Structure 1
Amino acid sequence: MAHHHTGQRTPRLVPLLALACGVAVGNVYFPQAVAPLAAAGLGVSPGTAAAAVTATQFGYAAGVFLLVPLGDRLPSRPLLVTLLTVTGAGLCGAAAAPTLPPLLAASVLVGAATVIAPLAGPLAAGLVPPERRGAVGGTLLSGALAGMLLSRTVGGALGDRLGWRAPYVLAALLSLVLALVLARTLPTTAPPSRRRYPRLLSEPVRLLFTEPALRRSSFYQATVFAGFSAVWTGMALLLTGPAYGLGADAVGLLALVNAVTMFVTPVAGRLVDRRGADAVNLVCFLLVVAAAAVLSLGGLGGTAGLLSLVAGTLMLDVGMQSGMVANQVRVYALAADVRSRLNTAYMTCAYLGGGLGSWLGARAYGWCGWSGVCGLTALLTGLGLIRHLAARAGRRRVPRTSPS
């Protein structure tokens, strides 16, 4: 554990880590708003350019699997600073990409290196007492959420005015500046494990097989996040397509409406601390299924359609983020000395779900339009809900004396 170095610095470090999460997570999401502009700039179809979104998310899943275990092996400060620097370099490469293939390659690199949030979570969890972990997790998630929302807003607006490359340049600058700030402010932490890298890499897979609570949390988040990613990938195609004919900044503005969810995640964290993760998960699933129904009305176009999109994305974001807090609290409670590896297994599954959701979302939009995307989201979330209800029924039937 890493309490002992920080003491009075902890209150200042948590907001800084939340900012770092925001900048890093933003790199995964702003391409969702910029993809239709990149399509026009590179002379490919919008559906084809959406591959940049999918590439970043699959890159992120790979980065979580390959790099996040190093959080248990290497000191936090050099690790985070190096990753932010590599991210900045990758974003510069993406900004300079002359055709789609180099953009996709740079997107994979950016996704893989921008894994600050899953590293910051275990670091912050070690800086505070157990009874504050839900609240601190909620704060970091608020930072990540701010990055997710603002990056799409700023990316869409900046892209509309200065071209699709401008958001990549801005993101590169932010990542490099943050690397400098963290190099000066992060405490020196002793890594909790001296295990060799191949062993650390095999550990998340082993933990997935041996920890039912980890498997359950990972599946829950993968299904909800797949639906979430399908909606936001399809959203850019819907709003810039014939039904609405809006610019890329409209996607960002819609994301900004959802800024209210930043205030919901700390509440969700406190609710998990009070009521337990399972109760919050159930609400999350029901909210996302309801969101898919409301979102389907967005295909109508006009003011009514736009209001449905606002209400539906709001419900979707609140549901996804609240479930994320619940799942992470469940996962972090399993064992203190392997938190990075537990988080690796969990986040890899979540972003594989997200990458698959983006890919399926673009396909569903091509085949059946917006209603296909909403149906896909309901179907994916339904899988998680069925698994959750089965787990609850199983626990009622078998009285358990030992902790899971």
Structure 2
Amino acid sequence: MLFWIIAAGLSAIVLAALLAPLRRRDENEAPAPDVAFYKGQMSEIENEHERGLLSEEETERARTEIARRLLAADRSGRREALGRGPAWPAAALGAVVLIGGAFLVYADLGAPGLPDQPLQARLAAAQELRAARPSQQQAESRTPATPVQAPQEYLDMVAELRAAVPERPEDLTGWTLLSRHEAALGNYAAAARAQERVIALKGAAASFEDRLALIDRMVAAAGGLVSADVEERLTRLLAERDDAAGPLYYMGLLHAQTERPDLAFRYWKRAIEQGDPAAPHVALARAQIPRAAALAGVDYSLPPLPGPSAADIEAAGEMTAEDREGMIRGMVEGLASRLAETGGSAEEWARLIGALGVLGERERAAAIWAEAQQVFAGTPDLDKIRAAAREAGVEG
């Protein structure tokens, strides 16, 4: 209600500002020149009559004639004013269109039915939303499987692995491979269960990356939701390494999902500033931080990404075809190795898939595409990689 009172008051002020000049013009508007002239003549006749220069009969005759001309001049002036058109109705119509248009735009783009939201109430609502999250098990049960296309040979290999590994419960290598390949095929819940087994077998020797990989699979299995179970694991990881991009990204995602864009922005900003620009979690943070910044009312510009130097580009242009192909293969292998170890941006994944397609290594391209679908699940960046996979002939 307070909003509408303020809006109505501002509208009244605008309307008064629009109509005030017209009122001043009407008040100060001079009479028509002919009318003023005849009124002056009437005054002169009265003066001459008083001084005895005109008789009563002559004065009355002159009064009658001037009065007739004065009425004619007044009627003529009114017709001219009507011909110019009334200013008040036009101004009033313009004001109604302007103010009414503003209210219509707000009704369409704004939220007229939304009540006032004081900070304390919004914080309480965010806390309630956070507390009402489904459990990891509930979220996984609600998330449908996302099958990934892959060569039949690869599918057969994973099927064999899926059947053999449970028969060897202490086979750490088998469970590690099963977790990785289930994730590559989009079977995130199965991948998470396998990764849990990997961590259980390693015990205290389980690395930071092992536990982060489990979080990756759990979030994907929950359809992108950061559950309370995942939050507990993230808290422990951040206690070990408060500059790790992966946990920072997921904590930001948690706050974005619970209506706290201000906190999401802070976590994602730290992930971008402290993490490797080529890491997938940093790429995800870069993709989502602009919206969080806008919702939080922060003016923020992404830092530029590093790229090849001008000297590198010039040197590549001077190579022979054979040398250039060798350089490309070397770059492809280096990029593939780095993505396998530390991850990378969506552009790099797309570049690797495209390069493998050009080099004729379609099976490798298909495997990379399958893994990319797990890493970038639920993000807009996946479309960029899908386009590269389609060009390489391993998607669609």
**With structure 1 as the length reference, what TM-score do the two structures score?**
0.22
**Which one has the largest radius of gyration?**
2
Which protein is richer in helix relative to its size?
1
